[in-house]
Amino acid sequence: MTDQETARRAVVRTADELFYARGVQAVGMDAVRTAAGVSLKRIYSLFASKDELIAAVLRHRTEIWDTGLAAASERAATPRARILVIFDFLDAWFREPSFRGCAFINMHGELGSTSEAVSRAVREQKDGFQKHVARLVADAGAPPELAPQLALLAEGAQTTAAIAGTPDAAAHARAAAETLLDAAGITD
């Protein structure tokens, strides 16, 4: 990895942590510079603008989400379990001390009406998740209309957990998902 790639990753990780903890608009580039230990001149040589850095953070978040879901799915033995593990993945995430809800939903709420790049990146991530759930549902032999229902349960759990400040939403969403799977005849 080149020095430029190393610096770029450090800035993205730092910006991600700051944006997630405080919100994008509350974090200036000076704060990113200080926390990352990279000069402002160097940051702007890596990212032409804050918007470009935000887009890189959203791509980074997508990679983290996709990797985490894939790893969780690999541990599941049956098609039904591969679907339900989504909610176990959420439960573990909701219990992390730094949990502040879905970064994509948060950024869309903060910038989506003013930034087409943010809206597009969030839509792409949400579409990718919907497609992931649709593949799991197809692998289980369940009707396709089950996929958006399950995805909505996961998305709603994220928002509810963030607002309520408790991980209970993951267990409630998992129980509802089990009911939907039972109704579709998807058993272990």
Q: Give the span between the Cα atoms of 172 and 184, in whole angstroms.
A: 19
Q: Which pLDDT score is estimated for 58?
A: 97
pLDDT of residue 188: 83
What letter does residue 38 receive in the DSSP assignment? -
In our burial notation (b when 16+ CB lie closer than 10 A, e otherwise), range 105-133 reads bbbbebbbeebeebeebbeebbeebbebb
What topology does CATH give the domain 55-183? Tetracycline Repressor; domain 2 (1.10.357)
Rounded Cα gap, residues 123 and 72, in angstroms:
23
List the one residue out of 9, 23, 5 whose CA is nearest residue 118.
Answer: 23
Is domain 1-47 annotated with CATH 1.10.10?
A: yes
133 vs 8: CA distance, rounded Å: 32
Location of each CATH 1.10.357.10 domain in the chain? 55-183
Q: What are phi and psi of 139, to 5 degrees?
A: -60, -30
CB 94 within 8 A of CB 170: yes
Low-confidence ranges of the chain (pLDDT < 70): none
pLDDT at 180: 98
CA–CA–CA angle 14, 159, 52 (5° rounding): 35
> Where does CATH 1.10.10 sit in the chain?
1-47
41 to 18, 38, 44, 48, 58: CA distances (angstroms): 19, 8, 5, 10, 22
Look up the pTM and report it.
Answer: 0.92
CA-nearest of 81, 101, 104, 96 to 178 is 81
